[in-house]
Amino acid sequence: MVSGIRKDYTFEIIFRDGFEIPPGAVFMCGFHGLGQVGFLSIAHLARALDAERVGLIRSDMLPMFVSMENGHLALPFEMYFYAPGNLVFLLPRFQPHQSEQWNFIDCLANWIVDSQFDESILLGGLDASFKEDDENLRCVPTTAYFPRLERWSVPLLEEGLFVAGPLALLLAQLEMRGVPGLGLLSYATRARPDPRSAAVMLEKINSVLGIDANVDQLIEESKEIERREKIRQSIESEDRSPDMYV
């Protein structure tokens, strides 16, 4: 169990007995930003790779919703592990509550540092109306990530555009701690979940990380993903204003 307390705020990552972060592991997560690209990408990676659920996050303002998925109780914030790729996924089925996002991300960043991940890859979406060339992706690296950037062959986010929400907070926290982190962003439709944009994201991740998450399956399941997202949005409380990227 990993825990942290910030100003009377409690944050715990609880792993199953016997699980430890292996050396050289890569941390990946994506939040509910524009087009839901980050969340859709992580959810599909965990499912397509048959990653093992190894832990969960407990915080003071845990969303009061659960569901069933693949025969087990699905909780708001879960950790998955894909051993062949040495990948650890944070799957946030809900956005952290608005009032706890700063503390949530601060504690998460401390855990990333303490766990000595080789790198962190954070996934999100960009408003497709800003697309001006044939490139489908942009990236936002921390200073410590620049020596590794060439392998991605992805242009930097243009100056004058901004990343917002939990992904931005986490990138900032990693920058301040001097650890390698990469924000990977794909162009997406603003008005609805965009699984096709997530598929573009995963094709790049498959290529660079040497994994095989079937993106055709993501396209085929797009209607079901959109149905689930509509259910999630219908039970979000009114004070959970969506965070958009760019």
What is the SS3 string spanning 184-217? EEEEECCCCCCHHHHHHHHHHHHHHHCCCCCHHH
226 in a domain, yes or no?
no
Arithmetic mean of pLDDT over the chain: 87
- Which stretch, 56-65, 168-177, 188-197, has highest mean pLDDT? 168-177
Q: For the chain, what's the residue count?
A: 246
Average of per-residue pLDDT across 75-85: 95
191 in a domain, yes or no?
yes
211 in a domain, yes or no?
yes
| pTM, rounded to two decimals | 0.85
- Which residues 6+ apart lie within 8 Å of 139 measured at CB? 149, 152, 154, 155, 156, 157, 182, 183, 184, 185
Residue 131: what pLDDT? 86
Residue with tokens 């569901």: 67
Position 129 pLDDT exceeds 60: yes
Report the C-alpha gap between 125 and 135 in whole angstroms. Answer: 14
Residue 218: what pLDDT? 73
Which residue range(s) make up the domain with 9? 2-107+115-221
Domains identified in the chain, total number: 1
89 in a domain, yes or no?
yes
Position 2 pLDDT exceeds 60: no
Query: Which stretch of DSSP H or E encloses residue 82?
Result: strand 77-82
Position 5 pLDDT exceeds 50: no
Report the C-alpha gap between 103 and 169 in whole angstroms. Answer: 10
**CATH code where residue 130 lies:** 3.40.50.10900
Average of per-residue pLDDT across 195-201: 91
* Range scoring the smallest mean pLDDT among 3-12, 26-35, 63-72: 3-12
233 in a domain, yes or no?
no
Confidence of residue 105 (pLDDT cuts 50, 70, 90): very high
Confidence of residue 219 (pLDDT cuts 50, 70, 90): confident
245 in a domain, yes or no?
no
180 in a domain, yes or no?
yes
Please give the distance of CA 53 from its chain centroid, rounded to a whole number: 15
**Residue 77 three-state SS:** strand
- In the chain, how long is the greatest CA-to-CA distance? 49
Report the C-alpha gap between 179 and 245 in whole angstroms. Answer: 22
